[in-house]
């Protein structure tokens, strides 16, 4: 199916929580082989949809059918005196892949970031997800000179 002609992007709302939850779960399964708990993801999605400081979701759709999503979280950079926008939870429905859905979402987010005077877009990609990495590199992302480290927060 070709959705490109009628593709639109928009911010997600609380009413979109079920589709965003499903797309986020599919994203984790596709990109990292993780089967996430639907209740936990649903609560996390709804928390972000109710509080944009936690994250902002954008949907691409054709004829009001959701085809893909992208999530943005923000990080303040004192070095730049500007926001860095992190791209997360990117998902395009398998039937709509290679038809411009991600590109439309990325362009939409780039326009939003420019309006918000963000300094740059960042993302991380699973080290074994070469297909996604290639897609990002083709869209002017470059390997950063950082390595990502993480640790759980110890509970007292």
| Structural domain contains residue 151 | no
Confidence class for position 12, pLDDT limits 50, 70, 90:
very high
Q: Is 120 exposed, middle or buried (0-12, 13-18, 19+ CB in 10 A)?
A: middle
Q: What is the pTM of this model?
A: 0.89
pLDDT per residue as tens digits for the range 112-130: 999 999 999 999 988 888 8
Q: Quote the pLDDT of residue 132.
A: 86
| Structural domain contains residue 155 | no
CA atoms within 13 A on the CB side of 128: 4
| Structural domain contains residue 103 | yes
Looking up residue 22, the CATH number of its domain turns out to be 3.40.630.30
| Structural domain contains residue 91 | yes
| Structural domain contains residue 154 | no
CA distance 40 to 61: 25
pLDDT per residue as tens digits for the range 24-43: 999 999 888 889 999 999 99
Number of separate domains in the chain: 1
| Structural domain contains residue 40 | yes
| Structural domain contains residue 62 | yes
pLDDT per residue as tens digits for the range 59-113: 999 998 999 999 999 999 999 999 999 999 999 999 999 999 999 999 999 999 9
């Amino acid at each position: 199916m070709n959705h490109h002609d009628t593709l639109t992007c928009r911010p997600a709302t609380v009413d979109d929580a079920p589709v965003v939850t499903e797309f986020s779960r599919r994203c984790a399964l596709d990109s990292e082989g993780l089967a996430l708990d639907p209740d936990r993801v649903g609560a996390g999605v709804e928390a972000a949809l109710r509080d944009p400081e936690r994250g902002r979701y954008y949907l691409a759709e054709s004829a009001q059918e959701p085809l893909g999503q992208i999530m943005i979280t923000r990080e303040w950079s004192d070095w730049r005196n500007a926001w860095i926008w992190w791209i997360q939870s990117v998902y395009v429905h398998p039937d709509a892949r290679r038809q411009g859905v991600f590109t439309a979402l990325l362009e939409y987010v780039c326009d939003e970031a420019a309006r918000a005077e963000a300094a740059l877009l960042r993302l991380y990609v699973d080290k074994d997800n070469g297909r996604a990495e290639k897609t990002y590199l083709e869209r002017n992302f470059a390997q950063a000179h950082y390595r990502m480290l993480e640790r759980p927060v110890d509970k007292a």
